[in-house]
Amino acid sequence: MSDTQTSSTKPTALPPLSVIVPVCDEAGAIGPLLREVLDKIGAAYRVEVVVVDDGSRDGTDRIVADLAEEDERVTLIRHAARSGKSAALRTGAMAAGALWMATIDGDGENDPADVVAMASRIDPARVGRVGLVAGIRRRRTAGLRRLVASRIGNGVRRLLLRDDCPDTACGLKVVPRPLFLAFPYFDSLHRYLPALTKRYGFETVHVSVDDRPRAAGQSKYTNIGRALVGIVDLLGVVWLLRRTSVGVNPVPRSVRVPDGDEAT
């Protein structure tokens, strides 16, 4: 038992939750963030933290490895070369053990306390109507150009995909691990989880979350690069959704509850 856990809060008495943290060159942010994850989420869940280092060159992996030696709840997996955020999330999901997994960015802009609020909207022991809890940033800390580009991109995406999500780029998501792994894999998959969730017959719950200023490091994206990739991805997802026949749902609902018995 770690020093932060008391005898009255035994890990086995808490519901399980896997937390996937994709990270690349975030040596200045990852240590404090992981301690926040362990303290805040670990107080409410039997948390398993899977950090996927996506080819960092600044020693991020060493920081995570040291923390993993101190706390068995932390696992480090390292990509030899940068493969992208969606690849890191998939790697983490394949290694995770809980039915439900949460995703949180490794740059410190997401508050781990929001994961607790989001996860309260589902039953960690089963899957009902809700297949995704998506964070929606209430106050963006990004610069004006990035904010405008994001709003334009979100507007075009919602028009074409009708996914009813105003902020798919938020790194905070809570999703059943089997459902996430059943989605077709492609780069930027993480930006289209609401549309895929809807296509697979599940509902998405939106929860307002905080967007904190970046304390260290720098963004891995540019507005132009994000826009060019986004156009190609969006057209691909439109085609993919039209060509996807789900058949038997890969994550059967354990209980079909009547309206009002589950948060929606």
Q: What CATH number has the domain bearing residue 215?
A: 3.90.550.10
Band (262; pLDDT cuts 50, 70, 90): very low
252 lies in some domain: no
47 lies in some domain: yes
pLDDT of residue 75: 98
Lowest mean pLDDT among 12-21, 201-210, 226-235: 226-235
* Residue 78 buriedness (CB in 10 A; 0-12 / 13-18 / 19+): middle
**Mean pLDDT to the nearest integer, 215-241:** 66
> Which domain does 71 fall in, by range?
11-242
Lowest mean pLDDT among 14-28, 190-204, 246-260: 246-260
What is residue 47's three-state secondary structure?
Answer: strand
250 lies in some domain: no
Residues 225-251 as b or e (16 or more Cβ within 10 Å = b):
ebeeebeebbeebeebbeeeeeeeeeb
Q: What is the mean pLDDT of the chain?
A: 84
Number of domains in the chain: 1
| Residues 29, 64 contacting (CB under 8 angstroms) | no
**Mean pLDDT to the nearest integer, 54-59:** 96
pLDDT tens figures, 220-231 = 555 555 555 567
Instruction: Quote the pTM value.
Output: 0.81
pLDDT tens figures, 117-131 = 999 999 999 999 999
